């Protein structure tokens, strides 16, 4: 399941749904990304996420299908929020199920690393001094490239 939405999501409910009636699942790994109050400058008061709607879901589906080709995983859920969020809000969920833990750990990290460098989302943060676009990080590019080496 892949969703891009403004609404918040309930991680426990999603994980419960994934394992329900699925006795083949032996491992479940999930990552939740949150809005932090500090970035490069002054304290962030809000974060607005813009995206390219026609491309976003296609991009996320592509990333998940690469993960499915690479590891023996059973299911994947990606939920990414857009719109205006506050510090401590949930931004993104990646949840992976598999028979054994290693595939789920690796696939979860792979999906996040690709999402951060390829899915068309852009963050703009607001603080007391105004609003500014968040700069992409070289460390995110490096995290993605290691999967290709």
For residue 41, state whether it binds other proteins (rule: CB under 8 A). no
Nearer to other proteins, 26 or 53 (CB): 53
Tokens of 51: 């995206």
Q: Which of 56, 54, 50, 29 lies closest to 110 in space, CA to CA?
A: 29
Nearer to other proteins, 79 or 103 (CB): 79
Matching residue, tokens 């595939």: 103
Per DSSP bridges, beta strands 73-81 and 2-5 are parallel
Q: Which of 126, 125, 99, 93 lies closest to 111 in space, CA to CA?
A: 93
For residue 84, state whether it binds other proteins (rule: CB under 8 A). no
Q: Please answer whether residues 114 and 66 qualify as being in contact, where contact means their C-beta atoms are separated by less than 8 angstroms.
A: yes
For residue 143, state whether it binds other proteins (rule: CB under 8 A). no
- Compute the least distance from the CB of residue 23 to other proteins, in Å: 32
CA pair distance 118, 22, nearest whole angstrom: 31
For residue 40, state whether it binds other proteins (rule: CB under 8 A). no
Task: Calculate the CA dihedral of residues 121, 111, 145, 38 and round it to 10 degrees.
Answer: 50
Nearer to other proteins, 104 or 112 (CB): 112
> Out of 52, 70, 84, 146, which residue is the one contacting other proteins (CB under 8 A)?
52
Stretch that binds other proteins, among 7-15, 16-24, 98-106, 127-135 (CB under 8 A): 127-135
For residue 122, state whether it binds other proteins (rule: CB under 8 A). yes
Tokens of 138: 């070289």
Query: Which residues in this chain contact other proteins in the complex, by CB under 8 A?
Result: 33, 49-52, 54-55, 58-59, 80, 91-92, 112, 115-124, 133-136
């Amino acid at each position: 399941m892949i969703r891009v939405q403004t609404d918040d999501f309930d991680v426990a409910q999603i994980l419960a749904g994934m394992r329900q009636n699925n006795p083949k699942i032996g491992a479940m790994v999930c990552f939740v990304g949150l809005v932090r109050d500090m970035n490069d400058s002054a304290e962030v008061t809000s974060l607005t996420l813009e995206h390219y709607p026609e491309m976003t879901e296609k991009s996320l589906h592509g990333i998940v299908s690469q993960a499915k080709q690479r590891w023996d995983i059973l299911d994947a859920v990606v939920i990414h929020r857009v719109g205006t969020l506050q510090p401590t809000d949930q931004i993104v969920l990646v949840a992976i199920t598999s028979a054994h833990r290693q595939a789920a750990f690796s696939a979860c990290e792979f999906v996040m690393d690709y999402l951060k460098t390829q899915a068309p989302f852009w963050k703009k943060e607001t603080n007391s001094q105004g609003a500014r676009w968040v700069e992409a990080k070289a460390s995110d590019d490096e995290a993605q490239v290691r999967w290709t080496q």
